[in-house]
């Protein structure tokens, strides 16, 4: 289970989706903090998605830092 840890004011969390050519395999990700990024002139390109995007009727899960995290079906499809 994911345990929330506060971030410094100038930080964000990023989720790196690990590549996997197997479409039926679990989506594996790494969640990490990026300190100082909000005060930087050289922020990288990234896409933002809400982990609660979509209906909760068909909950799915992904593996984040070795732990299962429930997400909506739409977000699961976006990660494939």
Three-state SS for 17-59 is ECCCCCCCCCCEEEEEEECCHHHCCCCCCCCCCCCCCCCCCCC
40 part of a folded domain:
yes
Q: How far apart are CA 53 and CA 62, in angstroms?
A: 14
Question: Is residue 4 one of the residues assigned to a domain?
Answer: no
Any domain includes 3: no
Residue 42 CA to residue 40 CA, distance in Å, equals 5
Average pLDDT, the chain: 78
Query: Domains in the chain: how many in total?
Result: 1
User: Does 68 reside within a domain?
Assistant: yes
pLDDT at residue 30, as a whole number: 93
In the chain, which residues have pLDDT < 70? 1-2, 38-44, 50-56, 79-80
Q: Is residue 2 part of a domain?
A: no
Domain limits for position 64: 12-78
Give the rounded percent of residues in the chain with a pLDDT score beyond 90: 8
User: Residue 9's pLDDT is what?
Assistant: 82
Residue 58 domain flag: yes
């Amino acid at each position: 289970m994911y345990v929330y840890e506060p971030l410094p004011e100038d930080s964000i969390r990023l989720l790196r989706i690990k590549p996997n050519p197997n479409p039926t395999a679990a989506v594996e990700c790494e969640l990490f903090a990026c300190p100082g990024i909000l005060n930087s002139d050289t922020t990288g390109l990234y896409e933002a998605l809400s982990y609660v995007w979509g209906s909760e009727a068909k909950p799915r899960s992904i593996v984040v830092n070795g732990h299962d995290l429930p997400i909506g079906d739409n977000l699961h499809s976006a990660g494939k």
